[in-house]
Each structure stands twice: as structure tokens, then as C-alpha cells.
Amino acid sequence: MSLLDMFRKEEKTSASVAKERLRVLVAHDRLRNNGPDYLPQLERDILAVIRKYVEVGDDDVSVQLETQGQTSILELNVTLPDD
């Protein structure tokens, strides 16, 4: 591998896309099994509010809950359309 190979943009193959999707599904599954009971409903409510203003798909919103010591951190990521 040359030095220039490090700066080239990697083309996404169907296998790499499938691998990334599987990572997202596993993360969501872990979150739902280990997270609080209200988290799935909170995610649906947030998605409904966002859809009042912007057309987004189910996969465009991710909600994650992290616990660091005694503090819980709710992370919300929304992929908005380019319009």
C-alpha cells in the first residue's frame, strides 16, 4: 500500500453497505434490550415531530442512550434532505 492509497476515497461495495446496515441494526437492538422502557416511544415521538416539518424516513433518525457513570446521555442524529 502506497502513501497515496491512504487518501483515496474508498468505493462502497454492496458488502460494505450491508455490513454498515447490520452494525446499525445490532446497535438499535442492543439499545432496545438494554435501554429504558420509554426509549422506543420517545424515538417514535421525535420522528413524528420532525416529520411535521421535514420529510424523513425511519432510517434517517437514530436515537442512542449512553450511560457514563451516573449520567445518561441521549444522542439524536437526524439526516435531513438536501432541499
CATH code, domain carrying 61: 3.30.1070
Let me know if residue 8 belongs to a domain.
no
Let me know if residue 25 belongs to a domain.
yes
pLDDT at 21 > cutoff 70: yes
Q: Are 30 and 63 within 8 A, CB to CB? A: no
Separation CA 83–CA 81 (nearest Å): 6
* Whole-prediction pTM: 0.49
Q: What is the CA radius of gyration of the chain?
A: 17
Q: Across the chain, how many H-helices and E-strands are there? A: 2, 2
pLDDT in tens, 33-69: 666 677 778 888 888 898 899 888 888 888 888 878 8
Let me know if residue 2 belongs to a domain.
no
Let me know if residue 6 belongs to a domain.
no
Mean pLDDT of 10-24: 75
Let me know if residue 74 belongs to a domain.
yes
Let me know if residue 3 belongs to a domain.
no
Let me know if residue 23 belongs to a domain.
yes
C-alpha cell of residue 24: 446499525
How many domains does the chain fold into? Answer: 1
Position with higher pLDDT, 35 vs 25: 25
